[in-house]
Each structure stands twice: as structure tokens, then as C-alpha cells.
Structure 1
Amino acid sequence: MELRRNESIVLENIAAYLFRGMEGVGGRLTITSERLYFQPHSLNIQTQPLELNLKDMAAVEKRNTLFVIPNGMKIKMHNGQEHKFVVWKRAEIIGMIQDTKMKQKMTVIIKTR
């Protein structure tokens, strides 16, 4: 993953699984000042990365895996898509995404004034 101009890494190398259909795709998450980037391990069947712009996220929520395991995170996009992850320390990761989104909004407000 290459950083964009004026983009910085907020949190990286987060072990995660992304549900793509029936497959739980293992990989690593990176949160930047502008996006969430998931890079699958090469041993998965589905190895294409996923890139989600923070400004396109409508909500980031906790969810349970298998109905009872409190290790899931769901990202709802403004276009209706949903992306489900399994992560450890989900509250910390969700908080980091929400804080980064808030900072991004504040930066836009300041720049437009």
C-alpha cells in the first residue's frame, strides 16, 4: 500500500479476517488518515485487497461472530454495502476509526473556511 499525498498511518499491521461470502479471508488492516486498507494473506483463495475511504463510511459498529463471540466489527458504507471483520481489541479499533473520521471532518471544515 502506498500512501497518498498528505496521508499518514494511524494504526497498522492489525490482524483481521474479512468475510467475503463463505470465506473468512485472513490478512492485515491498516488505518490511515483517509482510508481503511485490508491486505489479505497470499494463502487465501480471495487475495484482492479492500480499500475503504473513511468519508464513504456511514457507520462502524460492534458485532458478534457466531452470534455470541464479541470480536466482530461491521462497516456500513453510504452506498449500502457492508463489510464484516473479525478483529481483536475491536473497541480500540472502532474508536480509532471514528476518531480519525472526526479529525478528517474537522480538517475539511477548517480548510473550507
Structure 2
Amino acid sequence: MELKSTEYFIMEHVPANLFRGIEAVGGRLYITNERVIFKPHSFNIQSKPLEISIQEIVNIEKRNTLLVVPNGMRISIKNGQEHKFVIWNRAKLIELIKDTKIKMNV
């Protein structure tokens, strides 16, 4: 994964699943000072990476998987799209992304 010249990792290799339709795509999350990046494992059917600019995030919140399991995170972006993840330590990750957004003054 290539970083931009102004970019650096804040957190790397966070195990995660990203919901794409009915498939929970397994992979890893990478948080930089500019982006949230999801890299799927190569054995998934849907193996395209996802990059979300920190500047594009309008909301990030906790969500429950299967309505009751407290391990989900939802990221909403300016164009109206929502990206739903399953992660451990979601509160820590949500705060990290929110703090990064505040530091960017966006």
C-alpha cells in the first residue's frame, strides 16, 4: 500500500469485515492521517479495496451487528454512502478517526 507524501499511519492491520451487500468481506483496516483504508483478503469474492478520505466523513458511529452484537461501526460520507464494518474495540477506533478529523480541521 502506497502512502501519499503527506500521509502517515496512525493504526495498521486492524482485523475487520466490511459489509458489501450480503457478503461480510474480511480484511484489514488502516487508518492514516488522511484516509481510512480497507484492504480485503485476496480470497474474498469482492476483493476491491475501499478508501475513505477523512475529509469526506460526515458521521461515524457505533452500530450493532445482527441488531444485538455490539461490534459494528458505520461511516457515513458526504455523497450519502454508508460503510458498515465489524471490528473489535470499536469505541477506540471511532474516537481515533474522530480525533484525526478534528486535527485536520474539517
C-alpha distance in 2 between matches for 1:52 and 1:70: 23
Where does the alignment leave 5 or more consecutive residues of structure 2 unmatched?
Answer: none
SS at match of 1:96: helix
- Residues 96-111 of structure 1: matches in 2 within 5 Å? 96-105=96-105
Local SS of the residue matching 1:88: coil
Q: 1:56 matched to which residue of 2?
A: 56
Match of 1:109 in 2: none
> What secondary structure does 1:30 align onto?
strand
Where structure 1 has 5 or more consecutive residues not aligned to the other structure, the ranges are 107-113
CA shift for structure 1 position 105: 1.1
- What is the aligned partner in structure 2 of residue 80 from structure 1? 80
Matched residue count? 106
Which residue is 1:22 aligned to? 22
Q: Any idea what SS the aligned residue of 2:45 has? A: coil
Instruction: Give the C-alpha shift of residue 28 in structure 1.
Output: 0.2
Query: What is residue 12 of structure 2 aligned with on the other side?
Result: 12
What TM-score, normalized to structure 1? 0.92
Q: Deviations over 1:57-82 (max 9, x none)?
A: 00000000000000000000011000
Deviations 1:21-67 (A, max 9, x none): 01000000000000000000011000000000000000000000000
- Percent of pairs identical after alignment? 56
**1:71 partnered with 2:71:** yes
- Structure (1 or 2) with the larger CA radius of gyration: 1
Distance 1:58 1:38 in 2: 18
Quote the offset at 1:104 in angstroms.
1.1
Alignment partner of 1:16: what SS?
A: strand
Normalising by structure 2, we get a TM-score of 0.98
Paired with 1:28 and 1:43, the residues of 2 have a C-alpha distance of: 13
